[in-house]
Amino acid sequence: MYALTFGGKEMIEYSNVSDPQLLQPTDAIVKITMAGICGSDLHVYHGRETGLDHGTVMGHEFTGIVEEAGRDVRKFKKGTRVLSPFTTSCGECFYCRIGLTCRCEKGNLFGWVEKGHGLHGAQSQYIRVPMADSTLLPLSNDLSERKGLLLGDVFSTGYFCADNAGIKPSSVYAVIGCGPVGLMTVIAAKHLGASTLFAIDTIPERLAMAKNFGAVPLNATLVNVKEEILNNTHGRGADGVMEVVGSSATLKLAIDLLRPGGTISSVGVHTAKHFSFSPGEAYDKNLIYKSGRCPAHYYAEKLLRTEVPQRYAIEDIITHQFSLQQGAKAYEVFDKKLDNCIKAVLMTS
């Protein structure tokens, strides 16, 4: 089969690799129909994450059709349309039982093979999914591939981020960063009842989309964001700030915008060694800080039981579509935000 493999820093290769095989009776092989390129793939792409084996199939966002199910797989059979969270989960361990499926004791991240161990990814024609019954979710016919793909990662992550901010109707919130996850956070925060929601970024097209989703856009290159938020909160600051970027500067901005007793909900993947604010600043703000990887299986399953994915045009963030063969180009366009790219997907067959 063909797949996009990691060839080293900024090298994505369209390669002929061996087909995945069932290794356990609980595995399934899924024929991929759509795969996403995610902001976290760029950490690998730029060589900021070390340890990934060359030749690893990239990617962790996908929808597809079950091609082959192991003999112990009960919920899925050949031909079932499925979506998948970006990690596998067993459904039985302590963490799975409390809904923290991203910390499953047996879980693995798709698209991460290190020293020969781990799972290949989804930017590929087929993928092996371990613990298929508790990892995959059925994608019903009234949901598009695009919605299914976003439920497996960025929409669930945005929803988790808004959920952690403890949204209350009359309060004032800010989302820092209007990339794919930030825009999903805007939709989720509005859905959860945020009446006043500021969306902060520097790219006009992304701010325009945030406005479409119900936020008040603030362009950080044109206005003093802190002043704007203080002016709208009787000088107190926001009740909650959702930080989705993962940089030291955005985390510092988050605490600067927050009122005492407010919540920072951070889902940006941080690589800094230390916080960009001090324990003293946290104390003085009576800070509530929530962070971490989204338990995407838990959230996707929960959202599938509602009509939330149907109700909102979450798929509007997918601005670009490429074939698998155009993978290197797709990474470049997504990485450099060429042609106002927000989110790119690959059609794999």
Contact with Zn ion (CB under 5 A) among 90, 113, 161, 183:
90
The minimum distance between CB 96 and Zn ion, in angstroms, equals: 3
Evaluate whether 195 touches 170 at the Cβ level (below 8 Å).
yes
The minimum distance between CB 80 and Zn ion, in angstroms, equals: 22
Restricted to residues 258-287, the positions that interact with Zn ion (CB under 5 A) are none
Measured CA to CA, the distance from residue 71 to residue 79 in angstroms comes to 15
Q: Which of residues 45 and 277 has its CB atom nearest to Zn ion in the complex?
A: 45
Q: Which of residues 80 and 89 has its CB atom nearest to Zn ion in the complex?
A: 89
Contact with Zn ion (CB under 5 A) among 153, 163, 239, 243:
153
Q: Which of residues 62 and 173 has its CB atom nearest to Zn ion in the complex?
A: 62
User: How many Å separate Cα 300 from the centre of its chain?
Assistant: 11
Please identify, among the stretches 11-19, 91-99, 160-168, 315-323, the one whose residues bind Zn ion according to the rule CB under 5 A: 91-99
Restricted to residues 32-61, the positions that interact with Zn ion (CB under 5 A) are 38, 61
Contact with Zn ion (CB under 5 A) among 96, 209, 267, 345:
96
Contact with Zn ion (CB under 5 A) among 17, 65, 93, 143:
93
Question: Which helix (H) or strand (E) element contains residue 334?
Answer: helix 327-335
Measured CA to CA, the distance from residue 276 to residue 175 in angstroms comes to 18
Question: Taking the CB of residue 149, how many other CB atoms lie within 10 A of it?
Answer: 28
Contact with Zn ion (CB under 5 A) among 37, 104, 172, 304:
104
The minimum distance between CB 298 and Zn ion, in angstroms, equals: 11
Give me the DSSP letters along 135-201: H-EE--TTS-HHHHHHHTTHHHHHHHHHHHTT--TTSEEEEE--SHHHHHHHHHHHHTT-SEEEEEE
Query: Following CA atoms 190, 218, 183, 192 in sequence, which dihedral angle do they give, to the nearest 10 degrees?
Result: -10
Residues of the shown chain interacting with Zn ion in the complex, contacts defined by CB under 5 A: 38, 61, 89-90, 93, 96, 104, 153
